Each structure stands twice: as structure tokens, then as C-alpha cells.
Structure 1
Amino acid sequence: MKSVNKSIILNKIRLSGSISRADIARESGITPPTVSTIVKELIHENLVVESHLGESIGGRKPTLLQLKEDGYYVIGIDAGSNRIKGIISDLVGGIYSRAEVEIHPNITKEEFLNSLSEVVEQVLKDYGQHKDKILGIGVAMHGIIDIETGTSLSSVNSGLINVPIKKTLEKKFDLPVIVENNSRAMTLGEYWFGNGGATKRFAVINIGRGVGSGLIVDNKLIHGAQGVNGEIGHVSISLDGERCSCGNIGCFETFVTGDAIVRRAKKSISNAPEDLTAEEVYRLAKQGRKEYIQVLEETGKFIGIGIVNFIHTVNPNKIVLGGGVLKSKEFLLPSILQTISERVLIDKLREETVIEVSKLGDDITILGAAALLLNELFYCYIV
């Protein structure tokens, strides 16, 4: 019971920003003496600090409690298919060091692991004065991940198979390593540092070069029996569509990624440039070019159909949309929301399912990688 109470109190302080011992006791139902004892332990463990005095409601002003932001640090790695990015972050998502390397399309397993190590070495070099306070390394990796062994089993985009990320990095840096699918890591990042809050059933859908999703239920990231929960990019929405990178026909991913937007624009716009990119489609749409606006609005409809399928299957309270494609949100979102409104089964889903676009931008995945370690820390007391 003490372990559970410790996690409850620690997370109450995290979610509140600043809170008094009395408010923790009142809101959690834990007795004031127990709160005081546990808070003393958390202060001793370098996780919590006393801050400024709060407002008095009679008697002396209460001392407020906050997370000790610089009590510990974590390394977050976003292992993408064309570049690897790394950061050192504090307990509230403050970034102190960054590093990045590009990787080539036909990279070998050994080269990939060397590039991962290079990024970790660089962030440690730039901010090595606090190495003794670093809790570990979180890695967000595209593709299918064996969570227990920290192995990347398969990545369609890079072609890498059975990459021992956890084993390699732990041996080299003598730090704990957690490896997670990038979309699930994004979900954790948004939950901790963005729009997640204390939502009971919270989801993120990531739309960029590929499509994936993550789901958190009661503070727990859901993986599925074989670790492929959230691979909504490979749900078929057409029996005679284009062939997907996974080998199947008509996957959701073939309709909504950046490459899919470019293919559809080239097919429907006679004078579309040969070197057209998704970024250029967005730029031309912003200039008022109706044919490019129409391509993005059509993409929004496809995304909306995918989200409706997701809502009917998973039924989350809130869905946050992220990834590079959502940079065109002013053209996509109205079409997405209209499609959802037209197609969900009941009014309650239409009225109560919150749909938002991430405000974390390009840092959402890398912060999610950092949050992998923080999630372990903040819920480690629950047996």
C-alpha cells in the first residue's frame, strides 16, 4: 500500500505543477501523516522540492511541492529511418543537449548501432557534467519491437531486422535502456508533456512517412499480445488500392502519408512538377492553388475514415494527431472532423471524443523516448 501511495503522491505533484501537502491528502484520500512521511522520502530521493508559499485559507500559508526538475536526467533517442536524433531531458521535458546524425537508406545493422552510439556519445559529451544523475536511455524506433529484449524485430522503412538495441547500448554505456515503437513513444511523450493530462483512455495517431498509433489506458501503455498494437497504417481500407510497403494492398498508409499525398497530386494535377514533395503541396495550397487544396482536403477525408475505424475499435476519450503530414492541419482538420462527424455510430462518440493536433511539434517523438524512463520512475513503486 505504501508503494501505491508513493506513486499516487509523486504523480499528483507532477500533474499539479505545485501543490500543498494538505491538498494532496484531500484530493488523494491518503492521510496527512502518510503524505508527510512519503513527501519527506521523495525530497530525500531528490525527486521533489519545496517551493514558494501558497495562498492561505486561514492560518499560515502552506508550502507548495514541485518536482525537482534537475534532480535527474534522461537520454531520449528518436531513431528514424533517415536520421537519428538525441537529447538529454530533465524530469519535466526541458531539453539541455541535442545531437543528430543522418543515416543512408541501405544502412547495415552494425552501421545503425554505431550511429545510435554516436548520438548518445555526443549528447553525453555536450552535457556530461550530470552523467551521475542520468537514469537511462529511451529509444523510439520505427517498426516492430520486442519490448522485453529491446530488439527491433522488423522495420519496413529501413529494412533492418533483429537489431539488438538494448543489449548494445547497455553494454557500451552501462545505463538502463528501454526501446519502444516510435508511435507508442509519441503517445507517451504527448501524455507526459503535451495534451494528455489525466485522460483515462488516451491515444496518439502518427502520420508522416508511415502511420502508427499508441494507446494509454489508466496510465499504462498498451502493447498487445505480440507487440503490434497500434499498427493502424496497415489496416486495409481498400481491396483494390495501391500496394503498401508491407506487401499488402490498400493499407490506410497508402492513402495518407506524405508520399501518398504526392502520388495523388501528380495523378490528379496535370502540370504538377516531377520533383513535387508533400511540403511543396502544402506551400502551393497556402498560396490558394485550389487543385492542391483539394488534394489535402481529400487526404483529410481519408484520415477521417481511418480515425472513425480507430474510434469504433478502441473508443478513446481523446486522440491527438501528430507527424509531419499534420503540418498541413489548416487544410486537413476541417475535412477530418467533418468525416468523423458524418460516420461515427452514435452522437455520444461525436460529442465526447476529443480530437486535437499535437503542440509538441518535431520534438514529440524524442520527448516520448525520454518519457519511457520517466514512466518507469514515476510508476516503479506500484508492484
Structure 2
Amino acid sequence: MLTGSFQLMKSLNRSVILNIIREKGSISRAEIAKLTKLTPPTVSNLVKELLKAEIVIERDLGESRGGRKPTMLTLNSKMIHVIGLDIGSHDLKIILTNIHGQILKKEIFPMPEDTTKESLLSLMIDAIHSIKESTDVEEVIGIGVGMHGIVDVEKGMSVFAPNLNLQNIPIKEALENEFKMIVKVENDARAMSLGEMWFGNGSGIDSLVCINVGRGIGAGIVMDGKILHGHHFISGEIGHMTIDINGPKCTCGNYGCLQTFASGPAIVENAKKEIRLGRSGLLSSMAGNNLDNITGELIYEAALKGDSLCQSVLAEAGRYLGIGITNLIHTINPKRIIIGGGVSNAQELILNHITQTIEQRALTKFSKETEIMVSKFGDDATAVGAVALILVELFSTRGNK
């Protein structure tokens, strides 16, 4: 059984009205009737229900065009909240947002050692209870989950989480049983693309690719305003695009995958390899001359301080990303490509190398000029996208009963 507020909002005419209010920010009843083609009495009755439930509130009077000033309606951001989870390989990030996707609270929990399906689900449940109990929010309408790897979105199941080496995790079933509210589960990169479309740098763009570059590399592909899942839910697994058939072995078992050259762990491993070969510099001293202390964050910090080794390692990662993105451009030809995830934090050191590689390799003048930008949300992109999963379900007017 879903929460009452979600059920109240989730009907065809209510969703139409709520979506108009969301898009306009504030709007009068008369304008809603005009835009939706619903009769004024129908709009008035539905708005009355939404006002009573405190989902919609009345604001200052609008501009008059002669006669009485209209009362404006807006969504009650203090009443309706959504929880979003980003399930990584090292930690779980959880956020609580209002209906506009603004983050009100964020917590991070480390993954248990030797994570099992049971311990992962237990951690997710504990994290949700924790963030709910640490705030005084009145209503949470749903839980969105962004999960790395292969996700069956229809069943809400993680089919294969390669970084955790887990299969068939019944996330939707477990969380809906515990919290009695709607739960949506999606691949992390596809969730990210949805978040960017709703709240970020993909707004108004119906043809885009969002690339999540962290411990792995995945892409959320949007064509004609719709997320592309593929026949077996593996669309966007660009981290396993072969870049060099003689390259390093990947966690997937193949050789020379893109993520063996440009992911966070690949960048760290390349820096360590250069040091083993005799290259020294600021990074070594910052790591206390201990290779085990080298992290992506430390490489970035050293690069900003002028360490040539770290700058060259990040530049090489940027060039490999540029090759992978050029392949995407030739295959999908999106209007815009948005890069998020941990590696995107080093944008000033990798973005130029990405765009230069595309300019060198793309086929046509226009493909060379494909828009490349960094996510508006950085490390929070997947969690914000997970929130968008619930809002899409809420505001969608297609196929609603």
C-alpha cells in the first residue's frame, strides 16, 4: 500500500494539474483550466482536494487583467519530500529533498566488509530510517534508488552489481515491504540522466547522454526525451566498450575496456605505475612515500599544486574518455553530453583533453562541436537522479489511471 499523498496525487487529471503548477512555479486556477483544457469546476474541485491535503498552497495574488486579482497556486515544498539513494561500491549516499529536488539532508554510510545481499539491504533500510528520524519532515512520498551495474527496472531488482559482486538483489520488494511507499530502482547513470533532465544541465534537452565516471563508467542515454534501457537493460555500459584489445584486464573479464583507462581506480593505478617506473614528484611525498596512500583525491590535489605526473595521468584519462565519447557521438549523435561522478571533480584538468580529442577524431564539423559539460550536481548527481525517479512517476501523465 502506497502512502496516501502519492495515491491522491497520482491520477490523470491531478497529475496534469500538478505538472502545470510544477512547470510554472505559481499559476492561477483560471490559467490551469486554460492550459489543461479541463473545465473550471473540475480544476476547482481537484485543487480543493490538493489544498486540503496541503500538497498545493495558495500564495500572493497574481497580476490582474481587470477585475479581481487571481489567487496563485504553488507546490508545497515544505510538505512533500522524497528520499534518494546512490549505492556505490565503497559507500551508500542518501539524500532527503523537497518536491523541487533541493537537498535538505545528506548522509553517507560505508559499505560493510564482504557485502552480501542481506547486509546491503539491511544497510539501505537503516540509512532510510536514519535520515527520516534525523529530520522533522511530515511526509515522504517515495524512495528512489540509483544502483551501479545491471538493473531490471520493471522488477526493481539489481541483476548484477559488478563492483560488489552481487546478483539478483530484490531492492524494490525489500524497501516497499519495510516502508510501505513507492520505490523505484534504476541504474546509477540512467538515474543521473533523469536528474539532469529534471533539475540540471539537461533541462529542455531531449537528446543527451550523461556519463557517470567514478569507480566504473556508465552512461544514461536519452533519445527523444526517453531513457534508453535496451532489450536486456545493458544500454549505456560504455565502461565496457573496448578501447584497446591489448589493454589491461577489466573486472568484467575482458581486456582494454574504457574503464581500465579512465575510471577512478585506473587513474590511481596509472599514477602508481609511473612512480614504480621511477617518476617522482609531489605525489610521492604527499602520500608519505607509500603507494597504498595514493587516492584519486590526492592525485587531483597534487595536480592542482603543479605535479606534472598527476597532471599527465589526468590528461591521459581525459583523452581516453574523449575517445569513448567520440564513439558515442558517432553511434548516438546526442545534442549534449554531461559528465558526472567523482572524476568529474577534476574537470579543469580533464575537460580540455576530452574536447580536444573529440575535435581531432569526430567525423563532421557539427559532431566535433557536440556540447560537453559537467553535471550540475557533481558527486550528488546519482542521488538527485534517484529522487527524480519518484517525481517522474508522480508527475507523468501518460498511462495514468
If the length of structure 2 is used for normalisation, what is the TM-score? 0.84
What is the distance in 2 between the residues matched to 1:243 and 1:380? 46
Residue 166 of structure 1 and its aligned partner are, at CA, apart by 1.3
- Residues 1:145 and 2:151 aligned together: yes
Matched, 1:103 2:103: no
Q: Which amino acid aligns with 2:119?
A: E
Deviation at 1:231, TM superposition (A): 0.8
Deviation of 1:349 (Å): 2.5
Aligned to 1:125: 133
Give the structure 1 partner of residue 22 of structure 2: 14
Give the C-alpha shift of residue 44 in structure 1: 5.7
Q: Which runs of 5+ in 1 are unaligned?
A: none
Q: Is the 8 A contact 1:137 1:176 kept in 2?
A: yes
Aligned match of 1:90: 98
Task: Provide the residue aligned with 1:360 in structure 2.
Answer: 377
Deviations along 1:308-359, one digit per CA (max 9) or x if unpaired, are 11122222222211011111111111111111122222222234x3221112
| Residue type at the aligned position of 2:104 | Y
Q: Is the 8 A contact 2:30 2:40 kept in 1?
A: no
> What is the alpha-carbon distance in structure 2 between the residues aligned to residue 169 and residue 316 of structure 1?
35
Q: Quote the offset at 1:23 in angstroms.
A: 6.5
In structure 2, how many angstroms separate the alpha carbons of the residues matched to 1:22 and 1:326?
A: 45
TM-fit CA distance, 1:103:
1.4
Whether contact under 8 Å (2:87, 2:145) holds in the other structure is yes
Q: Name the stretch that deviates more: 290-299 or 42-51.
A: 42-51
Question: Aligned match of 1:256 in 257, 262, 268?
Answer: 262
- Whichever residue aligns with residue 110 of structure 2, its letter is E
Correspondent of 2:356 among 335, 338, 344: 338
Distance in 2 between the 1:340 and 1:32 partners?
Answer: 52
The answer to whether the 8 Å contact 1:137/1:178 transfers is yes
Q: Give the structure 2 partner of residue 200 of structure 1.
A: 206
Aligned to 1:223, what secondary structure does the other structure show? coil
Report Cα offsets for 1:207-249 as digits up to 9, x if no partner.
0111011123344322111111111111111111011111111
Secondary structure of the 2:319 match is helix
Letter in 2 for 1:285: A
Q: Which of 149, 162, 171 in structure 2 is aligned with 1:156?
A: 162
Which among 101, 120, 130 is matched to residue 112 of structure 1?
A: 120
Separation in structure 2 between the aligned mates of residue 11 and residue 35 of structure 1, nearest angstrom: 16
Residue 51 in structure 1 maps to residue 59 in structure 2: yes
Cα root mean square deviation, aligned: 2.7
Q: Write the letter of the residue equivalent to 1:125.
A: E
Match of 2:108, SS state, is strand
Counterpart secondary structure, 1:348: helix
Point out where structure 2 has 5 or more consecutive residues left out of the alignment.
1-10, 285-290
1:277-319 Cα distance to aligned partner (Å, 9 max, x none): 2212211111112232122122111111111111222222222
- Secondary structure of the equivalent of 2:255? coil
* Structure-1 residue corresponding to 2:330: 312
Q: Report the CA distance between 1:63 and its aligned residue.
A: 4.6
Identity rate, percent: 45
Task: Work out the number of aligned pairs and report it.
Answer: 377
TM-superposed CA distance for 1:140, in Å, is 1.3
Show the counterpart of 2:4. Answer: none
